[in-house]
């Protein structure tokens, strides 16, 4: 069974993509997961493999080197990768749903022709919004850009930037006119060789193979032609892309929950206590049922939000709901999965405990759970007040 849902709405192309990603995840990623987690390092062969399998320009048009597939395809890839390794999943997620999408949606034809082929074929991207003093309050960012002839000079620093240890292409949000508040925020595209410095690589609880770094920009010189979407348009670009990106994180957390469930439940039918497989005791079996319901609800929320987006309908509230709920489920189910396997679930060897460590990030990045609740609350207030 390839399509793991009762929401039977996938095209043949999407089903085939799911198969391709499952093969890649099981054959190429799975053997490296533990070592990468222990070493806090993403194996370069995995990044190369993602490019070679056409998973780094999923929605990008074939004219620009991509696969020209649906948004749901990107969501499927993120979900399937997360079943095996949430770190590889977020690498693919940030690259596709944040970096590629900004350029596809807001870039000029020349910008798309220049950047999208590189991003589809070999160069990893990062999305640089957060800073030390601006996380949830993202639009209070302090990185500044000043005009200098035909160039812009960027000074400042970014914190928590996913993929940045391996990335070559960076979207940087900087304010060109702080007197306008967040309406001065502008999106620039930069390359590593322009002089982006990695100041620190974080050591983390989970998604340890995914790099997270602080970046310093000291008089970083960027040509005028590298502004995306126009001066002052950066805040809208950032949040509109994050609205979509949150469906990607929902998919990551959905895949994670399913991955933990799939690893732990079969063991409970092998393990015998009191003369019976432990999974057959009602106290266990009912927990499996509850987890399966939670996962299915996360799946329906996630794919519903993805299809609403594809159909051009409002999806911001549904995306926030999907991300919030999938993060709750990922944490619940991966925590339970450890308990279902008993002592062995608590060891590193089975890989179940890793899903639980990895699950914590779902409630933090791309807008914390409180930010999702705040987003949903704004819609409720608008409708009922
Ligand atoms: N969709 C569209 N527009 C939105 C919006 C949304 N969800 N939320 C706010 N806006 C717009 C408003 O309409 C307003 O624009 P106008 O002035 O043009 O009307 C503007 O943004 C400011 O609105 P508010 O004053 O209500 O917003 P705020 O300043 O209080 O907070 C926010 C806005 C920074 C977007 C905040 O709600 C938020 O989402 N914070 C979380 C930031 C975040 O998600 N960061 C993720 C970084 S990337 C990442 O994390 C990647 C990764 O790990 C893998
Ligand atoms: P804070 O904003 O300081 O929040 C602290 C607590 O206060 C949270 O519980 C929060 O919910 C709560 N809180 C804050 N404001 C409110 C409010 N108004 N109402 C109620 N509660 C509130 N950023 C990028 O730009 N690019 C990336 O690639 C990226 N990758 C990341 C990868 C990792 C592993 C991590 C940890 C972070 C990453 N981030 C990235 C940053 C991430 O988006 C921020 O960490 C997140 O938005 C939260 O910001 P903060 O850490 O400053 O927490």
Closest Cα to atom 35 of ligand 1 = 239
Q: Where are the alpha helices (DSSP H) in 195-281?
A: 234-270
Question: Ligand 2 centre and the CA of 237: distance in Å?
Answer: 18
Closest Cα to atom 48 of ligand 1 = 366
Active site residue 202: no
Question: Ligand 1 centre and the CA of 360: distance in Å?
Answer: 22
Question: What digits encode the pLDDT tens for the residues 288-341?
Answer: 999 999 999 999 999 999 999 999 999 999 999 999 999 999 999 999 999 999
Question: Ligand 1 centre and the CA of 239: distance in Å?
Answer: 5
Residue 210 alpha carbon, nearest atom of ligand 2:
34
* Torsion of the alpha carbons at 120, 200, 172 and 58, rounded to the nearest 10: 20
Say yes or no: ipTM exceeds 0.90: yes
Q: Is the CB of 160 under 6 A from ligand 2?
A: yes
pLDDT at position 8 is 61
67 confidence band (pLDDT: 50, 70, 90): very high
pLDDT mean over 40-50: 98
Q: Is the CB of 129 under 6 A from ligand 2?
A: yes
CA pair distance 287, 294, nearest whole angstrom: 11
Residue 103 main-chain phi, psi, to 5 deg:
-70, -40
pTM of this structure: 0.98
Question: What digits encode the pLDDT tens for the residues 225-245?
Answer: 999 999 999 999 999 999 999
Residue that is written with structure tokens 């940087």 in the block? 172
Closest Cα to atom 20 of ligand 2 = 370
CA pair distance 334, 254, nearest whole angstrom: 11
36 confidence band (pLDDT: 50, 70, 90): very high
pLDDT at position 6 is 52
Q: Is the CB of 129 under 6 A from ligand 1?
A: yes
pLDDT at position 3 is 45
Question: What digits encode the pLDDT tens for the residues 205-225?
Answer: 999 999 999 999 999 999 999
Closest Cα to atom 18 of ligand 2 = 371
2 confidence band (pLDDT: 50, 70, 90): very low
Q: Which residues contact 176 (CB under 8 A, 6 or more apart)?
A: 144, 145, 146, 147, 152, 184, 185, 186, 231, 232
Question: What digits encode the pLDDT tens for the residues 95-129?
Answer: 999 999 999 999 999 999 999 999 999 999 999 99
């Amino acid at each position: 069974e390839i399509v793991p849902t009762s929401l039977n709405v996938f095209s043949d192309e999407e089903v085939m993509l799911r198969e391709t990603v499952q093969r890649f995840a099981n054959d190429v990623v799975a053997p490296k997961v533990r070592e990468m987690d222990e070493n806090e390092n993403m194996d370069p062969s995995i990044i190369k493999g993602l490019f070679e399998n056409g998973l780094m320009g999923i929605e990008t048009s074939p004219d620009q080197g991509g696969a020209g597939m649906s948004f749901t395809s990107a969501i499927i890839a993120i979900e399937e990768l997360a079943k095996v390794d949430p770190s590889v999943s977020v690498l693919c997620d940030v690259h596709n749903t944040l970096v590629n999408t900004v350029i596809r949606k807001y870039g000029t034809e020349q910008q798309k022709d220049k950047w999208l082929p590189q991003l589809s074929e070999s160069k990893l991207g990062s999305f640089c919004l957060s800073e030390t003093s601006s996380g949830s309050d993202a639009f209070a960012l302090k990185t500044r850009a000043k005009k200098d002839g035909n160039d812009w000079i960027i000074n400042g620093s970014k914190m928590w930037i996913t993929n940045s240890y391996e990335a070559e292409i960076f979207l940087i949000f900087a304010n060109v006119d702080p007197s306008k508040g967040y309406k001065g925020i502008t999106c620039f595209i930069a390359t590593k060789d322009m002089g982006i410095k990695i100041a620190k690589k974080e050591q983390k609880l989970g998604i340890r193979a995914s790099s997270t770094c602080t970046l310093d920009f000291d008089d970083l010189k960027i040509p005028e032609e590298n502004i995306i979407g126009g001066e002052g348009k950066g805040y809208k670009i950032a949040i509109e892309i994050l609205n979509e990106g949150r469906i990607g994180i929902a998919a990551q957390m959905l895949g994670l929950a399913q991955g933990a469930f799939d690893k732990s439940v079969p063991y409970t039918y092998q393990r015998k206590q009191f003369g019976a497989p432990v999974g057959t005791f009602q106290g266990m079996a009912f927990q499996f049922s509850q987890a399966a319901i939670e996962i299915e609800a996360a799946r329906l929320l996630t794919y519903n939000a993805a299809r609403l987006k594809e159909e051009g309908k409002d999806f911001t509230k549904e995306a926030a709901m999907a991300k919030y709920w999938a993060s709750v489920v990922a944490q619940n189910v991966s925590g339970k999965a450890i308990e279902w396997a008993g002592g062995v679930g608590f060891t590193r060897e089975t890989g179940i405990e890793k899903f639980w460590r990895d699950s914590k990030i779902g409630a933090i990045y791309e807008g914390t759970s409180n930010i999702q609740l705040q987003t949903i609350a704004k819609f409720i207030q608008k409708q009922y007040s």
